[in-house]
Structure 1
């Protein structure tokens, strides 16, 4: 893994910038944008020399030293693409978008599928979002034409206030090694570690639109790039890092206090919830994946649940999981093992379920047993976009703050929140299957548990940061 000696600070100046990074290229250091640097203009302010169009049929013009993309009805997403590819770079530019009901973006290390869009070509690759809508995810990272959202700004809600409507916004993108980092108007926005695409073109997007937005414009100006002797900016430790590389911690994740709970090789740190050793059957570890094996679909009837040897209080836990058709499992926490049960051990649960095929999705109340719900208590956000298909890796995240506030995420989208021990929480417990367990979910500390529900479910990239 690439190691960059990056200066650390909790915050830094609000000099207007955006940052992004990608894959496996070397990185050295030089002057930042505040100095003279070795910047090169990607746009000469006069014409579109060095650029070409791809994808849809939106027009790109030059007006008042700006590249202007004109939104055009009845055409797919359109792109103005650099005529050369880039590896490591720091890119800065200013962007203004008319209106608040569509979006735009800046492609980084991207490519064209020539067969896409009926032979017109389809652009794909990591995109830095420009989003003036109420959602306000400007600076988030979207994988255009491929994996969709990598870094929704639910992961960094403070940065949602950085964008200024109907004004030019300063964007800084750092693409160094396998890291992508962004800033909007000087506010650190997103941070992705991703091994796809070591090189590719840069492109400016005009999004497809409904007919009533025909003729609206998006403006790009002061577009400049560095490609040598790159000096990355400091990034605050509080901003969550999305790392798509399985069972790996980046240098910054380690510096920020994250540890792997599953090393990708063996069951170190895990034991059976029913004994002091790891189960002899029912679980499989292979190719960096730990999997519950298919049995009879019952709770803990084969290998049984597994738990961490260590107990945790407040923490930030993330995990990748993959379901087989009709499967059921879950990740539980604050598991004390004090409750004696014939089935699965007791604790609050992040539900993992094939909602379409497993009957549990229709039980409980108002969908509170569906994917990413607090099982039998709180229904997750029903927005379909966070839910990836069965057989595709999803990422769950549970954040338990020292003040007992708990937040669930699915693939970066916020799904629900609650406060352990609050009056509202206790009322929910009183009306649930947990009503007979005294002070359910309120233990000071407990184990983390992966559930055996008799179905084949896989896990990887299980990582945790203890919060103080």
Structure 2
């Protein structure tokens, strides 16, 4: 009988198909070779073939980070977490000196043993906050095992991120923000009243980077799409879509009673002002919001073509200069600094470069601009006359509207001929047609005291 069992087992193994999945181990089970630490000073050690992260007081979030960056991949790993902790797996994340002094930022697949049970949801660390939660996925919430090993599968392919917890589909996210970055194991900071020395343990960390689509799995979950939509945290904080991604609702021509019939295009969730063939000629003209705004925060993504010029104007009065081509207002400049001659012009040298306050204040020369053809994020904040321009998460200038210094700058500029230029209490937001192809998406606003 024993001989028969052995022969049967041998034949069974011989006939089993060989697993040719091209997994690569990210952790050798013995050392932290291929990893380095960023952020805080939590302790990372290797014990019994696993990585152990241990909390310490008085330090920010800590990240054990891969030396390599990854774009498209499938990642699997197992972890065990103390019930009192919060943690996560960073993917497509980065650390740049210009961004919050090197703070790690990017997608985080949450590890959440709390009653909230959002494990395997996707959080945008140090940027936009929650992108997908598990509020509408009770099966995934129930799949987490307290005080036991849990298994994650994470697929990041193109603009799509999918996660599974213990084999249960958890999230399906479509987001275009970041295409590549490192992978990190997070030990979250702890409050003073929390116990130091609590642990989270990771093991069996492996990745596929070759022919990734071949090994991708289907998910029954409806995707969460962030393009031209509010994130979970934006909605909670009072942000509104300024453009819905599909129609011209809320916008009109700056010199018209309706949206221009030509010169602007809406396609695949992108709003573009079309090229008119060079020079100062315009096809459709500037467009403005139908609403007026006082104090506000504005965020949008923009993309320029070679040599292009455009701008975002605020506190716009379309009645001033009505007989001429352009509406008057403060302008966040959009420009290809390398090819457009305006980059070397301006009342103050450099005050017409990208993200500058056009013709008045030059943006920081160390601003983090992405290349022509790639998306950049502009952010403008105006509260109690304190105005800031940001580019890709970095503040590049600030000023006090209506102040003596501001008025002196205006008096020395081409705007001097307009009384109290840029001092409206409320005005429209404007996207400029300067005759060049420039695209916009994710246009959002948070208004105050309007």
The within-5 A match list for 1:358-397 is 358-364=340-346, 365-384=348-367, 386-397=368-379
- Deviation for aligned residue 1:260: 0.6
**CA–CA distance in structure 1, aligned partners of residues 280 and 256 of structure 2:** 16
SS in 2 for 1:434: helix
- The equivalent of 2:424 in structure 1 is 443
- Deviation for aligned residue 1:192: 5.7
Against the structure 1 CA distance between its residues 199 and 138, is the aligned structure 2 distance closer, same or farther, given a 3 Å change threshold? farther
1:168-220 Cα offsets, whole Å, 9 max, x none, are xxxxxx865232346xxxxxx97263875445996469xxxxxxxxxxxxxx9
1:105-125 Cα offsets, whole Å, 9 max, x none, are 4449x975799xxxxxxx993
- The equivalent of 2:131 in structure 1 is 193
Contact 1:318 1:462 survives alignment (8 Å): yes
- The equivalent of 1:306 in structure 2 is 287
**CA–CA distance in structure 2, aligned partners of residues 311 and 54 of structure 1:** 56
- Deviation for aligned residue 1:280: 0.8
Unpaired runs of 5+ residues, structure 2, are 1-26, 74-88, 109-117, 133-158, 165-181, 187-195, 203-223
SS in 1 for 2:414: coil
- Deviation for aligned residue 1:346: 0.7
**CA–CA distance in structure 1, aligned partners of residues 435 and 98 of structure 2:** 42
Against the structure 1 CA distance between its residues 268 and 141, is the aligned structure 2 distance closer, same or farther, given a 3 Å change threshold? same
Against the structure 1 CA distance between its residues 114 and 418, is the aligned structure 2 distance closer, same or farther, given a 3 Å change threshold? closer
Contact 2:50 2:201 survives alignment (8 Å): no
**CA–CA distance in structure 1, aligned partners of residues 242 and 71 of structure 2:** 38
SS in 2 for 1:435: helix
- The equivalent of 2:122 in structure 1 is 178
- Deviation for aligned residue 1:293: 0.4
Contact 2:292 2:428 survives alignment (8 Å): yes
The within-5 A match list for 1:396-435 is 396-401=378-383, 403-435=384-416
Contact 2:69 2:92 survives alignment (8 Å): no
1:312-343 Cα offsets, whole Å, 9 max, x none, are 11101001000001000000011111212522
1:379-410 Cα offsets, whole Å, 9 max, x none, are 011114x1001000100000110x11001110
**CA–CA distance in structure 1, aligned partners of residues 431 and 260 of structure 2:** 12
* Bigger relative CO (Cα 8 Å, ≥ 6 apart): 1
- Deviation for aligned residue 1:135: 8.1
- The equivalent of 1:67 in structure 2 is 44
Contact 2:385 2:401 survives alignment (8 Å): yes
Contact 2:44 2:54 survives alignment (8 Å): no
The within-5 A match list for 1:309-348 is 309-340=290-321, 341-348=323-330
Aligned pairs, number: 318
Against the structure 1 CA distance between its residues 113 and 304, is the aligned structure 2 distance closer, same or farther, given a 3 Å change threshold? closer
Max Rg structure: 2
Against the structure 1 CA distance between its residues 105 and 288, is the aligned structure 2 distance closer, same or farther, given a 3 Å change threshold? same
**CA–CA distance in structure 1, aligned partners of residues 299 and 225 of structure 2:** 12
SS in 1 for 2:446: strand
Against the structure 1 CA distance between its residues 387 and 467, is the aligned structure 2 distance closer, same or farther, given a 3 Å change threshold? same
Contact 1:327 1:456 survives alignment (8 Å): yes
Against the structure 1 CA distance between its residues 258 and 190, is the aligned structure 2 distance closer, same or farther, given a 3 Å change threshold? closer
SS in 2 for 1:303: coil
The RMSD of aligned alpha carbons is 4.3
SS in 2 for 1:352: strand
- The equivalent of 2:83 in structure 1 is none
Contact 2:245 2:441 survives alignment (8 Å): yes
Contact 1:297 1:453 survives alignment (8 Å): no
Contact 1:406 1:418 survives alignment (8 Å): yes
SS in 2 for 1:347: strand
